[in-house]
Amino acid sequence: MNIRHAGIGMTSQRTRGRMIERLRSQGVTDEVVLAAMNSVPRHIFVDEALSTRAYDDVSLPIGHAQTISQPYIVARMIEVLRNGGQLSRVLEIGTGCGYQAAVLGQVAREVYSVERIMALHKRAALALKELQARNVVLSHADGTMGRPERGPFDGIIMAAAATHVPQALLEQLAVGGRMVLPLGAQEQVLTLIERDAGGYRETRLEAVKFVPILMGKA
């Protein structure tokens, strides 16, 4: 690991280790997810001025009215998505700065991540290239449309709140697959969608707060 990845002081591996222990105390039990969170240097995905807060359990601004989700939410969503099993092909809606995509890349064979804001797409691409995350493929596109040419996906994760599940994403979820996303307008609830041979099943998990999903590209 190079010096920038290793970090110093409040961005050091010791600080990252404290984040992992905090995640355990918050109820995250999937050791595969915890190991992935421990291996990805979150501080390289935030502005240098905010790097000392990179491992705090807070969301941080990344520009363009977007945020990097707090570590607990990233770990929780990926834990629910994995459900103790292996992930083959995952679709992420809302690349943002690329942090969650990098963590997903540690636990899934292939990750396809979509971002509608070109500036964030470029920023994430640089960070992921630095980490040599070769199994993470980024695209600048309307996330509500997904990546139909790459589906079906056994996991879909959405980092923005919707009032309903986009139909295109339901269609791209494989039978036996799981989708995790925040649903709601004023009051958002982290929601699990499971698809089986008979259709879709929805489970509401816990209250969350995300930026709203927007259509189109910017």
Would residue 145 count as lying in a domain? yes
pLDDT tens for each residue of 124-165: 999 999 999 999 999 999 999 999 999 999 999 999 999 999
Please tell me the pTM assigned to this model: 0.92
- In the chain, what percentage of residues exceed pLDDT 70? 94
Nearest CA-CA partner of 157 in 136, 122, 182, 176 = 182
Would residue 11 count as lying in a domain? no
Angle at 215 between CA 139 and CA 66, to 5 degrees: 75
CB 156 within 8 A of CB 177: yes
Would residue 96 count as lying in a domain? yes
Confidence of residue 11 (pLDDT cuts 50, 70, 90): low
Would residue 65 count as lying in a domain? yes
- Per-residue H/E/C for 150-210: CCCEEEEEECCEECCCCHHHHHHEEEEEEEEEEECCCCEEEEEEEEECCEEEEEEEEEECC
Beta-carbon contacts of 199 under 8 Å, excluding residues fewer than 6 positions away, are none
Would residue 104 count as lying in a domain? yes
Which pair of structure tokens corresponds to residue 65?
Answer: 């009215």
pLDDT tens for each residue of 192-216: 999 999 999 999 999 999 988 887 7
Domain range for residue 109?
Answer: 57-208
Active site members? 69
**Residue 68 parent element (H or E):** strand 66-68
Whole-number Å distance between alpha carbons of 131 and 210: 26
Whole-number Å distance between alpha carbons of 218 and 207: 29
Q: How many domains does the chain have?
A: 1
Would residue 21 count as lying in a domain? no
Would residue 44 count as lying in a domain? no
Average pLDDT over residues 7-33: 86
pLDDT score, position 166: 92
Would residue 124 count as lying in a domain? yes
Which CATH number goes with the domain that contains 75?
3.40.50.150
